[in-house]
């Protein structure tokens, strides 16, 4: 089966980008040695126990939105449904194979944590690593049909490979996000989307069955390579090149084993893109082919923060995403440098040398593969109860109640019917900043399950906002100082009754991009 199309009468372009990287990396060679497998080189990015595809998506999405704002691109609208006629209509499109909820408010949680309006259009695409490219297509369609004016595309994954298989020693965690506009709105030329093509085949490759947490490896790697992956990728790429009528000189392609993408790109007459990213963080699933185009989106010859860029060639840039027996190819023409790309490439470069290294056992523990046989202390209230329902929005959106009379800001708003400063009852909801100064802190070195020690508790005076007490990132427990600057990041506090409970954690500001 096949499908192909070009951009149509309304051109769409990528104007900003961001990435999300987890706290840790580890050497898959440890696992290969343990299971008696062939030696494996490189490193893999891995989430800590308080990170998942949601927190990675937030990190990438918030960076892309900030990059667009810093470039002077108007993307914001009021958070309420009372947007004025001139406010931009926003869409959020998230692709992942590992959503926190198998069924639940995934997209609503992400949109709220990013501060997007209540009227945001959105789609969650999942089911295979094709999800990232599918989210990009959904945003493209929404902009071209004038349903939205600004589109945020996020692709993230934190997959669990089956223990003792090649998936365990190849899967890495990460995220990428792009801001898209109709061409010409940003005032500068971005990466113009030109065409797309799809090929599919009803086959079983890597999969995860109902109720399973880990992805099964290929049954026959040679059969997959020669009869499934390479033919589908080649047909999708050739169809795309024919539809655009121009040479595609560089290809970012899903790379299941670290070798297939290079061969496929050369077979299509182009050069492979993004290989260094794959070697640094692993096969990230849904975001992989989108991450791979980042070096080609930077200006030729630039070398931001030591990151390698790939010289732009006269032809087009193509990406091919594969998953679940389907290959989707998308072509684009690069213009000026995309906002946020240099920062993103700098993060990827520094991650390979400066991120925290963990052992195989520590990673298995963080993923829940190894778990202590103890009863966790349950929360006093169920996550679906009234208290959570009333407060989850203001927690994710990070809002406070500001007194009209004296200006005092209180958090959270729902438990403060009157001002703690003057007693006034005239309060307005305001967004809080995510940067501040440490007033005091304590580090707990013994914690009951499901919490993990060390666990810092940090009191912060937020810039131009109120005072807040939050948890600190455990991996940074030794870096907090009174008077030190911190930044708030979205993390998972607990998994309660199978419900992920999210909140904000403090991270020393020097660790922010």
Instruction: Look at 359 and 381; give whichever has higher pLDDT.
Output: 359
pLDDT computed for residue 431 by the predictor: 92
Cα–Cα distance for residue pair 325/307, rounded to 1 Å: 33
Would you say residue 4 has pLDDT above 70?
A: no
Cα–Cα distance for residue pair 331/237, rounded to 1 Å: 9
Cα–Cα distance for residue pair 252/270, rounded to 1 Å: 10
pLDDT computed for residue 464 by the predictor: 86
CB distance 316 to 249 below 8 Å: yes
pLDDT in tens, 320-341: 999 999 999 999 998 877 899 9
CATH of domain 2-367: 3.40.47.10
CB distance 289 to 277 below 8 Å: no
CB distance 115 to 432 below 8 Å: no
pLDDT in tens, 417-464: 899 889 999 999 999 999 999 999 999 998 887 788 999 999 999 998
pLDDT computed for residue 404 by the predictor: 94
Would you say residue 370 has pLDDT above 90?
A: no
pLDDT computed for residue 302 by the predictor: 41
Instruction: Look at 51 and 82; give whichever has higher pLDDT.
Output: 51
Would you say residue 84 has pLDDT above 60?
A: no
- Residue 323's closest CA among 285, 377, 282? 285
Give the other-Cβ count within 10 Å of 498's Cβ: 9
pLDDT in tens, 9-48: 578 999 999 999 999 999 999 999 999 888 888 889 999 9
Would you say residue 104 has pLDDT above 70?
A: yes
pLDDT computed for residue 78 by the predictor: 59
**Separation of CA 84 from chain center:** 30
Helix (H, G, I), strand (E, B) or coil at 434: coil
pLDDT in tens, 127-137: 999 999 999 99
- b/e per residue 454-472 (b: at least 16 CB within 10 A): ebbebbbebeebbebebbb
pLDDT computed for residue 336 by the predictor: 77
Would you say residue 415 has pLDDT above 70?
A: yes
HEC sequence for 70-111: HCCCCCCCCCCCCCCCCCCCEEEEEECCCCCCCCCCHHHHHH
pLDDT in tens, 130-160: 999 999 999 999 999 999 999 999 999 999 9
HEC sequence for 1-59: CEEEEECCCCCEEEEEEEEECCCEEECHHHHHHHCCCCCCCCCEEECCCCCCHHHHHHH
Would you say residue 374 has pLDDT above 80?
A: no
Would you say residue 170 has pLDDT above 90?
A: yes
pLDDT computed for residue 9 by the predictor: 56
- How does the average pLDDT of the chain come out, rounded? 88
Confidence bin at 308 (pLDDT 50/70/90): very low
Would you say residue 86 has pLDDT above 70?
A: no
Average pLDDT over residues 212-221: 91
pTM confidence score: 0.91
Residue 454: cis peptide before it, omega within 30 degrees of 0: yes
Average pLDDT over residues 366-382: 79
Structural domain spans, the chain: 2-367, 379-387+434-513, 399-431
Cα–Cα distance for residue pair 400/428, rounded to 1 Å: 8
Confidence bin at 513 (pLDDT 50/70/90): low
- Residue 43's closest CA among 333, 222, 311, 281? 281
CATH number for 379-387+434-513: choose from 2.40.50, 2.60.40, 2.70.98, 1.20.120.
Answer: 2.40.50
Would you say residue 187 has pLDDT above 70?
A: no
pLDDT computed for residue 299 by the predictor: 62
Confidence bin at 1 (pLDDT 50/70/90): very low
Confidence bin at 373 (pLDDT 50/70/90): confident
């Amino acid at each position: 089966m096949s499908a192909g199309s070009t951009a149509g009468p309304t051109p769409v372009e990528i104007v900003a980008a961001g990435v999300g990287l987890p706290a840790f990396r580890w050497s898959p060679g440890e696992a290969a040695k343990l299971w008696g497998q062939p030696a494996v080189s490189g490193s893999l990015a891995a989430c800590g126990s308080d990170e998942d595809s949601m927190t990675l998506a937030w990190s990438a999405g918030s960076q892309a939105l900030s990059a667009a704002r810093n470039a002077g691109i108007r993307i914001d609208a009021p958070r309420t449904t009372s947007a004025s006629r001139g406010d931009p209509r926003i869409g959020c499109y998230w692709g992942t194979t590992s959503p926190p909820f198998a069924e639940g408010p995934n997209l609503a949680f992400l949109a709220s944590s990013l501060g997007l309006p209540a009227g945001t259009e959105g789609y969650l695409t999942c089911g295979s690593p094709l999800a990232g490219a599918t989210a990009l297509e959904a945003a493209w369609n929404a902009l071209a049909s004038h349903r939205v004016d600004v589109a945020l595309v996020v692709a993230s994954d934190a997959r669990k490979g089956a223990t003792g298989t090649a998936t365990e020693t190849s899967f890495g965690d990460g995220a990428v996000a792009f801001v898209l506009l109709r061409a010409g709105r940003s005032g500068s030329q971005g990466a113009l989307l030109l065409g797309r093509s799809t090929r599919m085949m009803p086959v079983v490759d890597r999969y995860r069955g109902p109720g399973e947490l880990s992805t099964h490896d290929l049954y026959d790697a040679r059969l997959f390579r020669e009869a499934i992956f390479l033919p589908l990728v080649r047909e999708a790429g050739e169809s795309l090149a024919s539809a655009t009528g121009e040479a595609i000189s560089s290809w970012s392609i899903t790379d299941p084993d670290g070798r297939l993408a290079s061969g496929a790109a050369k077979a299509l007459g182009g050069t492979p893109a993004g290989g260094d990213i794959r070697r640094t963080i692993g096969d990230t699933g849904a975001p992989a082919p989108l991450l791979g185009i980042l070096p080609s989106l930077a200006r030729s010859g630039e070398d931001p923060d030591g990151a390698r860029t790939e010289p732009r060639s006269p032809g087009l840039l193509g990406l091919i995403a594969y998953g679940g027996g389907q290959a989707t190819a998308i072509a684009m023409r690069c213009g000026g440098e995309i906002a946020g790309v240099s920062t993103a490439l700098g993060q990827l470069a520094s991650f390979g040398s400066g991120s925290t290294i963990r052992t195989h056992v520590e990673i298995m523990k963080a993923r829940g593969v190894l778990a202590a046989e103890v009863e966790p202390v349950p929360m006093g209230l169920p996550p679906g109860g009234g208290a959570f329902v009333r407060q989850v929005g203001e927690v994710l959106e990070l809002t406070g109640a500001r007194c009209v009379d004296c200006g005092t800001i209180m958090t959270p708003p729902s438990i403060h019917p009157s001002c703690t400063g003057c007693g006034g009852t005239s309060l307005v909801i305001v967004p809080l900043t995510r940067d501040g100064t440490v007033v005091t802190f304590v580090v707990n070195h013994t914690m009951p399950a499901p919490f993990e020690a060390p666990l810092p508790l940090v009191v912060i005076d937020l810039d131009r906002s109120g005072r807040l007490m939050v948890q600190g990132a455990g991996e940074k427990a030794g870096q907090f100082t009174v008077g030190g600057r911190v930044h708030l990041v979205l993390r998972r506090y607990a998994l309660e009754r199978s419900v992920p409970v999210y909140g904000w954690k403090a991270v020393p500001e020097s660790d922010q991009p």
